[in-house]
Amino acid sequence: MTSKQPAYLVLNAGSSSLKFSAFRPRPSDGDLETLLSGQISGIGSIARFEAKAADRRPLGEHTWDDKDSACRDTLLQYVLNWINTTLVDDDIVAVGHRVVHGGLSLGQPMRVSPDLLDELDSLVPLAPLHQPHNVAPMRILARNFPDLAQVACFDTAFHSSQPPVARNYGLPQALTDAGVCSYGFHGLSYEYVTSHLLASRPDLAEGRVVICHLGNGSSLCAVKGGRSMDTSMGFSVLNGVPMGTRSGSIDPGVILYLMREKQMGLEELEDLLYRQSGLLGVSGISNDMKVLQESADPAAQKAVELFCFRVAKEVAAMAASMGGLDALVFTAGIGENSPEIRALIAERLDWLGVGVAPDANARKAYDISAADARVPVFVVPTNEEMMIARHTIQVLGHKPGHA
């Protein structure tokens, strides 16, 4: 009888979704292969389960009624049961989790323990819209499967290498000491993209690279010598460039004005800045970049132009943080899939030596640099889930092909 091979489950839990992926280490080289991925969307309303194989073949679908759609225990148990019956040759030996916030002290992935769960709960005020949902599956698994190893991976951890001058605001030191500073996010994406880029271009190992993670949530990161030096998101995921529905950076005086003159309260402001602004707010049409690019409405084009203007402006700021620019990288949904957006941003950065080759850019090549560009430009598909699986194996000390 053939024994089952060890596999690793990765969970990314949000307010209304639960994304999952499963990976298996290859005994030959220890690298990971994707077995399957999927998500439960619509949690709290009409929950829907969808899964696909590594080659994108549909593997399963399921929906729940209103009552069960709000029960995370039921939904997570369904995922676990489905995976166990689907991966007949594999055995899930550990679970890795994406956690948005690790605060100032959690600068590397950690094995989940009762003390860690309590510490993560203490960080909820720093990420109230994300942290509780990230932590919930850990508690469910710890309660129902106490022997199953779990590892928490933090989106803020990659940015712990930043110098204080990049992290601190112009606020009284007492507030900085209390944790009111820039943390940065999308760290797992930046870490994966950095590792991928440096593996293919070792000549950039000590270089100054700006990575543009452009999607419904967008940010940029200045990476020097493989380490984060600066990033556009800060204390929260609101800072930086305009996003799908988030405002990006605005003058803090706007908030004071809205409170004083428009009598807007905390919940109203939160809804405005997180859900009604960005591409959706500027265009009044959609938060989807593809929809805006296909629209002839001037408001849609205004939103696209603002996005590209702010991203280019942020690239220049990131380059200034490092004292130069040796490479530019696009990743995430918009960054990977929109040649037009990449071209518009590059056009604004011509003075920095950035340029893209139209043919290479159109076919989404890895290297899309123009022949005469001083700064090479790359498109690197991100894979946060694989990064989490790698960290999980490393933290637990597992060897390729063994639990």
Give the whole-angstrom CA distance, residue 372 versus residue 337. 24
Token readout for 337 is 């899939």
Q: Which DSSP string corresponds to 241-256?
A: S--SS---S--HHHHH
Contact call for residues 358 and 308 (beta carbons, < 8 A): no
| Residue 155 falls in the annotated catalytic set | yes
Catalytic-labelled residue, pool 66, 90, 91, 155 = 155
CB under 8 Å to 86, separation ≥6 — which residues?
36, 51, 59, 60
Q: What's the first-to-final CA gap in the chain, in angstroms? A: 19
Name the pairing type of β-strands 377-379 and 327-331. Answer: parallel
The helix or strand, by DSSP H or E, that contains position 282, with its residue range, turns out to be: helix 278-283
**CA nearest 302: which of 328, 284, 316, 319?**
284
Amino acid, res. 6? P
In angstroms, the Cα distances linking 198 to 207, 238, 291, 338, 389 are 10, 29, 34, 23, 19
In terms of Cβ atoms closer than 10 Å to its own Cβ (0-12, 13-18, 19+), residue 173 is exposed
User: What does 337-401 look like in DSSP terms, one character per residue?
Assistant: H-HHHHHHHHHHTGGGTB-B-HHHHHTT-SB-B-TT-SB-EEE----HHHHHHHHHHHHHTPPTT
- What is the DSSP secondary structure assignment for residue 276, as one 8-state letter? S
Return d(Cα 44, Cα 71) in angstroms, integer: 8
Q: What angle do helix axes 131-144 and 114-122 make, rounded to 10 degrees? A: 160
Identify which of 66, 55, 67, 59 has the alpha carbon closest to the alpha carbon of residue 39.
59
Task: Using CA atoms of 366, 371, 377, 380 in order, give the dihedral in degrees to the nearest 10.
Answer: 0
Residues annotated as part of the active site: 155
